Amino acid sequence: MRNRYALDPNFVRAKRSKKKIAWSIVYYLVGATLSLAFILPLLYMFAASTKDRDGIAQSYGTIMMFIPNFGSSSVFGQNYGFIFAEKEIWKYALNTIIYAAVIIVFNVIINGLAGYVLAKFKFPGKGFFNFIILFLIVVPVETSILPLYSVVNDLLGFNARNNLNFIGVMLPSMISVFNIFLYTQFFSSIPKEYEEAMHIDGASRFRMFFDLILPTSKPIIATTAVFSFIGVWNDYVWPRMMLPARAMGDTSWPLETIQAALTSIQEGGSSISPGQIMAALVVTTVPIFIVYTIAQKYIVKGFGTAGLKM
């Protein structure tokens, strides 16, 4: 099939300048180089998880270090079987997923309501509260973790012998000033005419929030949910501070998160092979990759919409 523009005598095909072509080549070369810089460590991690100690040593420094070895299925099964069966990493992963699910639900409700108030309500001191939120965003978490621990430990009565310490793991993560900021920016872009129409029908503010604001805010909800999940999944210091360490030989269900399990596996000493450590790293990395891949389009749309009022 001939190009239809070729039949038009007045059609002139646009020519790209040599400068634009050169910039395009540089752009793709830099992009490919950065992509390899991020992908190669992940490939090496997965490839090493399928090999034993000798296989990793022999392939080190060659292209084979990035290629998985599925020829020896016994090694692959031993590495991942050790992680799931003996170390029971699935229990820690399930704990973390439960923590994340509870935190995400409360995060959406609490931070969403706060953002809704700041975006749609007019009250004295509103500018001051917006300033405080922006100020707290830039404050490092490390500066507040000790005061936060004192508040949770003293006022809520948690201690090393309390079986309800898992509540203290979730409480601080239910509130995020950054998520409040995102909700505020996103809700500010929702036309007020929608609320006025519901107000005429006699809807309350809470009904507007749950029946109008939240259903129309799926991109920003997905964005904050993914960030909350990643934060809980990667958090190590705070759960380690709140949860009591398991005694040697304790066979009860653990309360620790998956990062605590990963640390205990790495502290196994010479009895733990590098392949088993890499298998544990793969297990802790795959869920984040899956969640981010699924919600990527919502994250981009959420940031794009939230940035309209910035």
pLDDT band for 16, please (50, 70, 90 cuts).
low
131-157 pLDDT per residue, tens: 888 888 888 877 888 888 888 877 666
Question: Taking 60 as the threshold, does the pLDDT of residue 36 lie above it?
Answer: yes
Taking the C-alpha atoms of residue 146 and residue 142, their distance in angstroms, rounded to an integer, is: 8
Residues in the chain, how many?
Answer: 310
At residue 302 the predicted structure's pLDDT band, cuts being 50, 70 and 90, is low
pLDDT at 102: 94
pLDDT, residue 247, reads: 65
How many percent of the chain have pLDDT more than 70?
84
Spatial distance between the Cα atoms of 156 and 90, rounded to a whole number of angstroms? 30
How far from 262 is each of 49, 277, 294, CA to CA, in Å? 14, 8, 25
Position 310 scores a pLDDT of: 40
- C-alpha distances in angstroms, 253 versus 88, 92, 249, 284? 10, 9, 12, 19
Report the largest interatomic distance among the alpha carbons of the chain, rounded to a whole angstrom. Answer: 86
CA dist., res. 308 & res. 92, Å (int):
40
Q: Nearest 5 degrees, angle CA 261-CA 245-CA 175?
A: 75
pLDDT at position 101 is 94
* pLDDT reported for residue 2: 53
How does DSSP assign 35-74, residue by residue?
A: HHHHHHHHHHHHHHTTS-HHHHHHHTTSGGGGS---S-HH
First-to-last alpha carbon distance for the chain, in angstroms, is 49
Q: In 121-174, where does DSSP find H-type helix?
A: 126-138, 145-150, 165-170
Residues carrying CATH 1.10.3720.10, the chain = 87-309
User: What single DSSP character describes residue 98?
Assistant: H
Map 227-278 to HEC letters.
HHHHHHHHCCHHHHHHCCCCCCCCCCCCCCCHHHHHHHHHCCHHHCCHHHHH
d(CA 240, CA 246): 11
CATH of domain 87-309: 1.10.3720.10
Over residues 149-187, the pLDDT tens digits come to 888 877 666 654 556 678 888 888 888 888 999 898 888
Residue 1 has pLDDT above 60, yes or no: no
Q: Which residue has the higher pLDDT, 219 or 265?
A: 219
Q: What is the mean pLDDT of residues 268-278?
A: 77
Q: pLDDT band at residue 270, thresholds of 50, 70 and 90?
A: low
Query: Has this prediction a pTM greater than 0.85?
Result: no
Percent of the chain's residues with pLDDT above 90: 9
Q: What is the pLDDT of residue 97?
A: 93
Lowest mean pLDDT across 4-8, 193-197, 272-276 = 4-8
Contact 228, 173 (CB under 8 A): yes
When pLDDT is averaged across residues 238-261 and rounded to a whole number, the result is 78
Which residues, 6+ apart, have CB-to-CB distance to 46 below 8 Å? 68, 278, 282
Tell which wins on pLDDT, 229 or 136: 229
